[in-house]
Amino acid sequence: QQPVQSPQAVILREGEDAVINCSSSKALYSVHWYRQKHGEAPVFLMILLKGGEQKGHDKISASFNEKKQQSSLYLTASQLSYSGTYFCGTEQGFGNEKLTFGTGTRLTIIP
């Protein structure tokens, strides 16, 4: 079953902050975050592992709440280059061998 992402879409002005959420109905071992720009392939941002620490990537960070089976992606002081669709991918159990992706959150940054 696909994880649920919220919001589905968000429009921000440059410099504003955003939070994208990813929730699963099943216990998770890890959560991946990817960004896809229009017409391009998804690009890896970060992995959060069960029992691991909050990760950061430039001004993009994420957290993973294992008990609530959810992850959140935080974009701070957004830049125009952050525009795109963000996907979470969930791995249910170590060695599960595959990810299940959410339906995505479209982020638009305007000047």
Partner 1 sequence: NAGVTQTPKFRVLKTGQSMTLLCAQDMNHEYMYWYRQDPGMGLRLIHYSVGEGTTAKGEVPDGYNVSRLKKQNFLLGLESAAPSQTSVYFCASSYSLAGNYNEQFFGPGTRLTVL
Residues 16 and 5: their CA atoms lie apart, in Å, by: 20
Residues 84 and 44: their CA atoms lie apart, in Å, by: 13
The stretch among 14-22, 30-38, 57-65, 71-79 that binds partner 1 (CB under 8 A) is 30-38
Please tell me what DSSP assigns to residue 53: P
The stretch among 20-28, 35-43, 57-65, 76-84 that binds partner 1 (CB under 8 A) is 35-43
Tell me if 51 contacts partner 1 by CB under 8 A: no
Tell me if 44 contacts partner 1 by CB under 8 A: yes
The CB-side HSE value for 29 (13 A sphere, CA atoms) comes to 10
Q: Which residues bind partner 1 (CB under 8 A)?
A: 2, 30, 32, 34, 40-44, 47, 49, 87, 89, 91, 94-104
